[in-house]
Structure 1
Amino acid sequence: MLDYTHIKCPVCGDAFKEDDDIVVCPQCGAPYHRACYQEKGKCIFDDLHEAGKEWAPPAPPPPKVEPSAEIKDRECPACGTLNSHSALFCNRCGTSLLGAGQPDQKPPQAPPPFVSPAPPVSRNAYGGVVPPFSFDPMGGVSPAELLDEGISFGDASKFVRQNTTYYMPVFRYIKQTGRNKFSFSAFLFSGAWLLYRKQYKTGALVAGLMFCLYLAYLLATVFVSAPLLAELAGQVGMDITQGFSPTNEQMLAISQLVANDLTMYLKISLPLLCLLAMLVVMIVVGVRGNKMYMRHCVRQVRQIKEHGARGSDVSLTLEAKGGVNISIAVCMFVCYVLLVNVVPLLL
């Protein structure tokens, strides 16, 4: 007879004891407490009966192996602690035990700490050290580098003062290549930009020329081109009081009238020629503006340094004589607004 001790009853789940009243299913051999079997009235393993199989006791669980019972034969190469045979890392310091136990193997060395390289040291126009990641007023140009004979970029930056990060690299480019570098500020504002940068003689000349060209454009439009177009419109049957919106036939007739008289064509094109002349002046100033300003700075710095040899503070004089003239820029803006909005009303 089988020993059912410690096997659990399939109905109540309690383990059988030596003095329990146990009955066995005559078909499959499953054990029950007598009271449990009588409660169910039959064996509960119908699947075994249908398959013609016998009940088998469950396999006993494998014996647990305590970690402390495992052989400790893996010595940590760092701290010397003995660890279990299957351990991969030291349970004391965490060092890898792969390869432990090999007497000729040296413990792994930690990589040296990363030390970032020291940032480059740059100096401003006055010789002071510029901290890393700070604004460089010289735009990467060394203040000690010579711009012209006896004049350094540091001297030029003191005279320029505003926007040296743009002008110092531009001056160096012009000096090294001998080519101009286009200036959009000089192109857009022409004479006003020259006056703003204290190039008074050239600025007054260019500003006066631009004023005369614009005034010529207004006069040519009001007194020459517009009356002539009105006369031509009347000849082809247009009513200009309703606006200048000719049909294709009327435009063709006007074109034929103008083509037969070259003088009439020039009179109509006179305002456009004035605007074209203004554009040419703007392009010339834009192309040559930076080089003109560099020569102006060199000339002024040389004069200041020659007079400064008598004892005056050259640096303070450079800052006072250089820089920009904001008041004249405001004045030029007001004059431009009056010229564009008021003068056409007077004409």
Structure 2
Amino acid sequence: MASFVGQECPVCHQKFGDSEQIVVCPECGTPHHRACYFKEGRCANEARHADGYVWEPEKLPGQEQPGAQAPQDSPATGGDPSQNYQIPCPHCGAANPQGASFCISCGKPMSSQQESAFQGVGFGGFQFDQQAIRYGGVSPTDTIDGIPVADMAEFIGPSSGYYLQAFKRMDISGKKLSFSWSGFFISPLYTLFRKIWPLAVLCLLFTTVMNLPTLISLFESGGNLDTMMNMLNSDRFLTFSYISTLLMMVYRVVFGLFSNYFYRRSVVSKMRKIQEKGLPREETLALYRKKGGVSRAAILILLGIYLAASFLMVLALDI
């Protein structure tokens, strides 16, 4: 098999020897000493991935096509390669992680494995299959806010591809804007469903207060709360109604623009707290799934409260 002998490791800047173990970045093809890669925890050229960087070997006299023996561990997880390395290289047949652009064994492009490709902003091509659905075109070996994408997908759960793509766009651009229709139309349900608990409470309180004019009008039409209505000046009531309508419109637009950013902050904060515990890998993943994911129970409870409140309101109007 061809080798990277004579090429330079971008971490220690030493030439590769004939019998050294080498890890090849599956995204850009950069070779590293195995020890150097694990010391850094990432590709030395990771900052250049967003620009579509591809490693080119230094041309040496009599040098054959660069390649190297596949490492024993996955550079992304450090675990059992059989759990993550499933795609055969079309050139040498070595197992590679899904979404790899370059073979970790021979270093050649995995282009024939990417016939159905989608070009994302700074993400490169990816095969439109379960890999694309789970990671949204972002390489699972990449990071967002210093957290591995594969780990973040475990935490997010359903619709992870959509959020990872949105988070990566924000990470690359440095911007906080990322419009969400769910955040625009149903912010209380959105925040509850995604377990953003403090923000969910604020959303519920705000929307309830802003809907008070409607609730008061319903009670008034039923002949109830006459004393309260007599205390309210009609001009003030109309002014409050107009202001609340305007504030709700502004609230919807702002929340639609920033809801993905709020969710990203929540995800990163919770994951870092879990990482600080220093638990074994399996326990950490279990906590990701427990603390992350979605809460359908919270949605059902809220809907139950709304139905109960509506029923009590109807009863009050009939009294």
What is the TM-score when the length of structure 2 is the normalising length? 0.51
Q: Does the 8 A contact of 2:213 with 2:237 survive in 1? A: no
Instruction: Give the structure 2 partner of residue 148 of structure 1.
Output: 145
- Segment drifting more, 159-168 vs 307-316: 307-316
Find 2:211's aligned residue among 203, 211, 214. Answer: 214
Deviations 1:229-250 (A, max 9, x none): xxxxxxxxxxxxxxxxxxxxxx
Q: Does the 8 A contact of 2:271 with 2:288 survive in 1? A: yes
Please state how far the C-alpha of 1:196 moved relative to its aligned partner: 1.1
The CA distance in 2 between the partners of 1:161 and 1:143, in whole Å, is 14
Matches within 5 A, 1:38-117: none
The CA distance in 2 between the partners of 1:162 and 1:223, in whole Å, is 44
Deviations 1:18-51 (A, max 9, x none): xxxxxxxxxxxxxxxxxxxxxxxxxxxxxxxxxx
4+ runs deviating over 6 angstroms: none
1:313 aligns with 2:283: yes
1:181 aligns with 2:191: no
The CA distance in 1 between the partners of 2:128 and 2:170, in whole Å, is 27
Q: Tell me which structure has the larger Cα radius of gyration.
A: 1
1:274 aligns with 2:244: yes
Instruction: Give the structure 1 partner of residue 257 of structure 2.
Output: 287
Deviations 1:272-309 (A, max 9, x none): 43333333322222221100000111111111111134
Instruction: Give the structure 2 partner of residue 66 of structure 1.
Output: none
1:324 aligns with 2:294: yes
The CA distance in 1 between the partners of 2:282 and 2:129, in whole Å, is 32
Q: Does the 8 A contact of 1:139 with 1:166 survive in 2? A: yes
Instruction: Give the structure 1 partner of residue 67 of structure 2.
Output: none
The CA distance in 2 between the partners of 1:207 and 1:316, in whole Å, is 30
User: In the superposition, relative to structure 1, how do residues 273 and 176 fare at CA in structure 2: closer, same or farther (>3 Å)?
Assistant: same
Q: Does the 8 A contact of 1:217 with 1:272 survive in 2? A: no
Instruction: Give the structure 2 partner of residue 169 of structure 1.
Output: 165
Q: Does the 8 A contact of 2:155 with 2:293 survive in 1? A: yes
Please state how far the C-alpha of 1:339 moved relative to its aligned partner: 4.4
Instruction: Give the structure 2 partner of residue 49 of structure 1.
Output: none
- The unaligned stretches of length 5 or more in structure 1 are 1-116, 123-130, 228-262
**Counterpart of 2:186 in structure 1: which amino acid?**
F
The total of aligned residue pairs comes to 186
Instruction: Give the structure 1 partner of residue 313 of structure 2.
Output: 343
- The unaligned stretches of length 5 or more in structure 2 are 1-110, 117-125, 225-232
Please state how far the C-alpha of 1:173 moved relative to its aligned partner: 1.0
Q: Does the 8 A contact of 1:220 with 1:270 survive in 2? A: no
Find 2:114's aligned residue among 120, 127, 140. Answer: 120
Please state how far the C-alpha of 1:312 moved relative to its aligned partner: 6.4
Please state how far the C-alpha of 1:331 moved relative to its aligned partner: 1.5
**Counterpart secondary structure, 2:277:** helix
Please state how far the C-alpha of 1:335 moved relative to its aligned partner: 2.7
Q: Does the 8 A contact of 2:141 with 2:148 survive in 1? A: yes
Q: Does the 8 A contact of 1:220 with 1:271 survive in 2? A: no
**Counterpart secondary structure, 1:170:** helix
The CA distance in 2 between the partners of 1:214 and 1:162, in whole Å, is 31
**Counterpart secondary structure, 1:307:** coil
**Counterpart of 1:213 in structure 2: which amino acid?**
M
Cα RMSD (Å) of the superposition? 3.0
User: In the superposition, relative to structure 1, how do residues 285 and 158 fare at CA in structure 2: closer, same or farther (>3 Å)?
Assistant: same
User: In the superposition, relative to structure 1, how do residues 308 and 179 fare at CA in structure 2: closer, same or farther (>3 Å)?
Assistant: same
The CA distance in 1 between the partners of 2:155 and 2:281, in whole Å, is 19
